[in-house]
Structure 1
Amino acid sequence: MKGEADEIALSVQDLREVTGFAAACAEAVLDVFESDQPDDSRPREAVDAAWAFARGGERGQELRDRAWAALKAAKNTDTAAAGEAARAAMAAAAAAYLHPLARSTQVKHILGAAAHGARAAELAADDDRNVAAAHLRRAAHLATPAVVDVLGRFPAAPSGGGRVGELTRTLDAALRAHTRAE
């Protein structure tokens, strides 16, 4: 999908790689949500839908619906940690909809599940920033060369976004530094 100067070349396989990475990051914190809301399967269904796409499935309405449902689940939690875990699941399903636009905001489609997951883990550990840092290190190890390549086609993560934005920028910088070090 190549086009104008502000477009990024993205293949369906690129989208599958990014979505698989996002699903793995979100899956790591599903238990945070499920311990808060054991009868609500919406975030797990969003992660499952993300995995289905990553493994060759359709990028259709069901995937979008699962992402929106996970976001709605995030708004009905008893703890902030559970809400962030549901947002990680939403971001995993939404990763399939990374747009081929050279905009820093698109980095959230790539790294949002990892950042929300890190924040969920941090909050679940009484706001322990070391837990978020460890979660980001695990996420960095999950990022395949293909994911890092896609990330490198976009501008660096945008400013703002509170703590989740900070976590996004931290992971973005780490992945880009790793690429430069090779």
Structure 2
Amino acid sequence: MVADQNSTIELGMAELRAVAGYAAQCARPALAIFERSRPDDGRPRAAIDAAQAFADGARRSKAIRDSAWAANRAYQETRDAGQTAASDAARAAVAAASAAFLHPLAKATQVKHILGAAAHAARALELDAGDDPDVGIDHIERAAGLAAPVVVSVLARYPNAPGGGGRAGELLRRLDASLRRPPTGR
């Protein structure tokens, strides 16, 4: 049962690590898109690596936040340069690093910390494929399959994903709904 939006949610360090590892795993496929556009810019890779290091047991530190901010600057630069696929790939990296800082507040916006990396990676892959929505849906379906039970359990404590966010927001809500749907028996 989801708590009301003024309450806090119990989150253990193992759960935060699982969410960050999931986010890093979902963001990584889009990294090649960014690096093809900006081969000398390691900021998004560093953000994903920092999220994975945290997932693997490293301390949750300012270095993770710094890597997220650096990847955010890479996102802004590619956005401003009209490199839309690379821009969403960088946003996926920002979301991966930010997953380590999921807040225990029962707010729909926190779902972006859990699923944002997958949604932005899906959008980057879509854009890279000529804005083919099937490519994004395929990534969302793979991301749903990657979600460990602990990630789904954490997600279930939060309200449904918020509205808005353009196509990446649509992909986020699709993944959110998929993970909240009870499994069908065979």
Residue equivalent to 2:159: 155
Residue equivalent to 1:138: 142
| RMSD of aligned Cα (Å) | 1.3
**Structure 2: unaligned runs, 5 residues or longer:** none
Q: How far apart in 1 are the matches of 2:113 and 2:45?
A: 18
| CA deviation after TM superposition for structure 1 residue 180, in Å | 5.3
Residue equivalent to 1:112: 116
Residue equivalent to 1:20: 21
Amino acid at match of 1:36: S
Task: Say if 2:100 is the partner of 1:99.
Answer: no
| CA deviation after TM superposition for structure 1 residue 5, in Å | 6.4
State how 1:18-167 maps to structure 2 within 5 Å. Answer: 18-77=19-78, 78=81, 79-167=83-171
**Structure 1, 70-79 or 121-130: larger mean CA deviation:** 70-79
Amino acid at match of 1:125: A
Q: Which aligned runs of 4 or more in structure 1 are off by greater than 6 angstroms?
A: none
Amino acid at match of 1:132: G
Q: Percent sequence identity over matched residues?
A: 57
**Structure 1: unaligned runs, 5 residues or longer:** none
Q: How far apart in 2 are the matches of 1:124 and 1:107?
A: 25
Q: How far apart in 2 are the matches of 1:181 and 1:112?
A: 25
Q: How far apart in 2 are the matches of 1:162 and 1:5?
A: 27
Q: How far apart in 2 are the matches of 1:8 and 1:30?
A: 32
| CA deviation after TM superposition for structure 1 residue 58, in Å | 0.9
Q: Secondary structure at the match of 1:29?
A: helix
Q: List per-residue Cα deviations over 1:129-165 (Å, max 9, x = no partner).
A: 0000001011111110110010001010011111111
Amino acid at match of 1:115: A
Q: How far apart in 1 are the matches of 2:184 and 2:112?
A: 23
**Structure 1, 130-139 or 5-14: larger mean CA deviation:** 5-14
Q: How far apart in 1 are the matches of 2:98 and 2:54?
A: 11
Q: How far apart in 1 are the matches of 2:103 and 2:51?
A: 16
Do 2:6 and 2:105's aligned partners in 1 also have CA atoms closer than 8 Å?
Answer: no
| CA deviation after TM superposition for structure 1 residue 181, in Å | 3.9
Q: How far apart in 1 are the matches of 2:53 and 2:20?
A: 10
| CA deviation after TM superposition for structure 1 residue 75, in Å | 1.5
Amino acid at match of 1:164: A
Do 2:26 and 2:118's aligned partners in 1 also have CA atoms closer than 8 Å?
Answer: yes
Q: How far apart in 1 are the matches of 2:140 and 2:168?
A: 12
Size of the aligned set, in residue pairs, is 178
**Structure 1, 84-93 or 68-77: larger mean CA deviation:** 68-77
| CA deviation after TM superposition for structure 1 residue 49, in Å | 0.3
